[in-house]
Amino acid sequence: MLKRIVPALLLLTPLFTLAQNKMSPELLWKLGRVAGLGISKDGKYVIYSVNTPDWETNKGTRKSYMIPVNGGTAVETMWPDSLLYDKNVSPDGRYSLTNKEVKINKVAGKDFYPELTKSNVQIYDNLNDRHWDTWEDGSFDHLFLSTVGKPGEEKDLMPGEPYDCPQKPFGGDEDYVWRPDGKAVVYVAKKKFGKDYAVSTNTDLYEYDIEKGTTKDLTENNKGYDLSPSFNQQGQLAWLQMKRDGYESDKQDLVASTGMGTVNLTGHRDDIHVEGYRWSDDGRNIFFWAPINGTLQLFEVDYTGATKKLPEIRQITKGDFDVTGIIGQSRNKLIVSRTDMNHAAELYSVDITDGSMTQLTYVNNSIYNSIAQCKTERRWVTTTDNKKMLVWVIYPPDFDPNKKYPTLLYCQGGPQSPLTQFYSFRWNFQLMASQGYIVVAPNRRGMPGHGTKWNEEISKDHGGQAMKDYLSAIDNVSAEKFVDKNRLGCVGASYGGYSVYMLAGIHNNRFKSFIAHDGIFDLRSMYGTTEELWFVNWDWGGPYWDKKNAAAQKSYNQFNPINYVDKWNTPIMVVQGGRDYRVPIEQGLQAFQAAQLRGIKSKLLYLPDENHWVLSAQNALVWQRQFYKWLEETLPPVDKTKSNDKKGF
């Protein structure tokens, strides 16, 4: 026995040493990105893919695997699609659906003047001239119906219509679904064009009858989003719905059809904003995930009770983690994707009866086992209006309460997006904390998961209570003896970038460093160049020229960061994507130019080929390295005024 123990202890020594390593940008970009594809036709296996980026080649590799639904050894499969049901083939096997671009409108100079083949001109007489990261070229994604076994026979379901299905820029095949009898297709489209498209969020569900060749609007009476249609085996339809046109962050509910019409299954729960869902295999219930109290959790709603006044909703899982998707069902278990602030997505099985979870995939364990983990902590902070606000605090892996640490206030984007136990490959809390920083991440005003009122209080008040919430959070944590008040920083992207610009003018010398990524710097020029006008119309109150609109005038004057530049006095790094048409390039350039002309230490990180995010591996690594280089210069993780005193040379 002793002879076996000694070698075992020796083997543990390098593992213990490795466990002292910390997450780095290079390690982060070696993590495999796990995506569940579904459960095999025979119900025995979970099929999933792993995309592993290679920053050295700026490419990635994607492999697919199958693993028993009850756990076991994963086996690579070369043909994952052959193991799964093809949702694009009709249930009777007669037809298949595809989508492709169709040229409908003239835009290019050569569209109007065919003889000028070398011209490079775009001509518009209506909005949207561009969207997200792409200029409009007159082409639209359309659905096509093909007869199986008869190549070349295909029919455009939207002939000549200037509308998209799937929806641009993020829609996929979840935007269309077969009716179980195979006689009709239900698809999502926003059948508006130009300016009407730019100011509206009103997507609808359309049913195309194959035999008749006719289309019916199923959600004509609803003026907001209708998304993600799905049928159970009995033919009942469910989908996600928002009520108000122009409000992209309205409460998102799960609705379903019954013999008595459409029933809202989650409308009676003020704290539930449904992110996604899946019918149970027997069609009697619907499983969904939603933000709740700073996490994403799994829920079940009783569809058979849909005719009741208040359908029963049961929370299945609890804990400091996020359930980020449902892959499928195997008897009394659901296969889900799960993350937390220390772990990228892996697949788990969930016992539906008691919520217990069993990990199925361990794609990144070799890396996790070699690095130290970061402690995450819930903290409740009293706001200036006497409300209780959840604040996540993330500590360095080797945290010592007897030392003093630089601390970062993290400002979430959205603005109405949940701040949960997510795992980002850019705004990564584990990576930030592993460089020696405490991270303070407040669930400030404007985040779902804390009730509709809390979520909606940010609209038309972007620079108001939310800014006070940020300062309440950092002031509360800064009262701890382990926080160095002389080394506080503030970072964020999108609305978080706006927050950085805004706080730079009102922080009252709290912070020593700022980083703003794709943030709004000037509301007026933003209104004149952004492409999705519904957002600025709803959240700011309307256009800047409407002098009679008190809400709009308050936004453009009181909540406009550019109006506070005279108070800027702190180093700031500005990050701007060249293909970001949501928060266009002039926002970052104006902020950098203002800082430079005021003589403030500043840096511009310009990414000409990136949009609102950073998608290229090497661009992302430059981003990470510059991010931490800037913090090293302006907010060093080690207090250098003390660290050199005892070196003895």
Annotated catalytic sites, by residue? 494, 580, 612
Report yes or no: 488 and 479 within 8 Å, Cβ to Cβ: no
Best CA proximity match to 559, nearest among 531, 522, 526? 522
Return the closest-CA partner of residue 623 out of 491, 440, 437, 474: 491
Cα-flanking dihedrals φ and ψ of residue 500, to 5°? -60, -50
How many CB atoms sit inside 10 A of residue 613's CB? Answer: 16
Dihedral over alpha carbons 321, 324, 326, 331 (to 10 degrees): 0
Contacts of 2 (CB under 8 A, 6+ apart): none
Helices (H) and strands (E) in the chain, counts: 15, 33
Running DSSP on this structure, what letter comes out for residue 273?
-
Q: Which helix (H) or strand (E) holds 213?
A: none
Instruction: Decide: helix, strand or coil at residue 282.
Output: coil
**Considering just the CA atoms, what is the radius of gyration of the chain in Å?**
26
CA distances from 263 to 75, 267, 308 (A): 43, 9, 9
Task: Please choose, from the candidates 341, 172, 222, 323, the residue with its C-alpha nearest in 3D space to the C-alpha of residue 300.
Answer: 323
Q: Which has the closest alpha carbon to 367: 347, 349, 342?
A: 342
Task: State the helix-helix crossing angle for 550-558 and 533-540, rounded to 10 degrees.
Answer: 100
The rounded distance, in Å, linking the Cα atoms of 291 and 285 is 20
**Other CB atoms within 10 A of residue 83 CB:** 18
CB 451 within 8 A of CB 530: no
Token match 């026995």: residue?
Answer: 1
DSSP helix/strand/coil, 593: helix
Cβ atoms of 46 and 77 within 8 Å: the answer is no
